Amino acid sequence: MVGKPELENLAKTYGKFWCTWQTDRGHKLPLGAPALMMSPQGANLGKIDPELVQKRDDKYKISTDALKESRVEIAEPEWINPQADYWKPHGKGFAIDIKQTEMKKQTPFP
């Protein structure tokens, strides 16, 4: 009930976000370059082992099927920028890398 309005707003964003650290990997602080992540709304781009889903459901006392059912009426984005999924037809994307650089205490104002 509390999260549904947030999900309705978030669904309009086409599920992309910048991830600065991955808590599922045990990161306690931001490590490495940010990664552009996405949620495959309305698509089945990946499969998850049903046993892992059930293990998660049992651990957190939730029901994935009930959550899916409660979200059926949430609308997907009305329009998706044609460049949003550049990687699908091209098989290539963009990456951010980290490099060490000198930090200046003062810099000229443009």
pLDDT in tens, 61-82: 999 999 889 888 888 788 888 8
Token digits for 42? Answer: 């309305």
Q: How far is CA 76 from CA 25, 40, 104, in A?
A: 29, 11, 45
pLDDT number for residue 19: 78
Domain boundaries, the chain: 4-90
Tell me if the pTM is above 0.95: no
Residue 39 pLDDT class (50, 70, 90 cuts): low
Residue 6 pLDDT class (50, 70, 90 cuts): confident
Token digits for 107? Answer: 């810099």
For residue 60, pLDDT over 90 is answered with yes
Residue 45 pLDDT class (50, 70, 90 cuts): low
